[in-house]
Chains A and B, each alone.
Chain A
Amino acid sequence: AQSVTQLGSHVSVSEGALVLLRCNYSSSVPPYLFWYVQYPNQGLQLLLKYTTGATLVKGINGFEAEFKKSETSFHLTKPSAHMSDAAEYFCAVRGANSKLTFGKGITLSVRP
């Protein structure tokens, strides 16, 4: 079985500051991991994914994440926050039959 833990429900950063959103997972098989972003009243958009290979994954909008098997983590980072990054972020792990299990999400606020 798969599960995802996203601690906390809200993160607030200043514009230009580092963004760090944490994700820990549990998986009975080698994991495929995903970060999605959801803007108000919209569906989910894929930011980045880890399947196999390089453990540092780069995504859209300057985001990246590092797969750390020993820590069962897949934290999302961005060096410099922009106002347009304000949204809700979901970490997900893929299990059998391509089924995605999502964390409960983290709301990112960016202060001017």
Chain B
Amino acid sequence: EAGVAQSPRYKIIEKRQSVAFWCNPISGHATLYWYQQILGQGPKLLIQFQNNGVVDDSQLPKDRFSAERLKGVDSTLKIQPAKLEDSAVYLCASTSQYEQFFGPGTRLTVL
């Protein structure tokens, strides 16, 4: 069974630029999550999708972050414009009953 796929693995941008991350969950998993993991901290949930609907986006900075999951399968997370404090690893996960399966993450560096 293929795992959660994410791309790109690494991204370096300058502040005020835009960036997009892509995630393809495990086939058949209806629930998809995006997390932000700042160095030295645990992952923090940004947004949760159930199929193509948003379940929880209470911690998503909506003035600069957006996410979509148009067909209920893969998802994109966008930051526009990026700030220095957005430097982090962005993790995507999908869930089967009790367990969340995580992708390898995208490491974003904002200069």
Chain A residues in the interface with B (C-beta under 8 A):
4, 9, 32, 34, 36, 41-46, 49, 51, 90, 92, 94, 97-105
Contacts and interface: CB of A to CB of B under 8 A. Distances in A.
B99 A102 contact: no
A45 B56 contact: no
A100 B45 contact: yes
Interface residues of B, number: 24
A105 B44 CA distance: 12
Interface string B74-111: 00000000000000000101010011111111010000
Contacts of A43: 4, 91, 93, 102-105
A101 B43 CA distance: 8
Contacts of A44: 43, 91, 93, 102
Nearest to B55: A97
A8 B89 CA distance: 22
Contact of A102 (B4, B43, B104): B43
Interface of B: 4, 31, 33, 40-45, 48, 55-56, 91, 93, 95, 98-105, 107
Nearest to A36: B102
A97 B48 CA distance: 9
A34 B40 CA distance: 19
Contact of A97 (B56, B98, B99, B107): B56
Contacts of B101: 46
A44 to B, nearest CB: 4
A90 to B, nearest CB: 5
Given A42-B104, A46-B100, A104-B41, 6 more contacts: A41-B104, A43-B102, A46-B101, A99-B48, A99-B56, A103-B42
A49 B104 contact: no
Residue of B4, B44, B99, B103 with highest tally of chain A CB at under 10 A:
B99
A41 to B, nearest CB: 7
B95 A98 contact: yes
Contacts of A98: 31, 48, 95, 100
Q: Which 4 A-B pairs have the closest CB atoms?
A: A102-B42, A43-B102, A44-B102, A43-B104
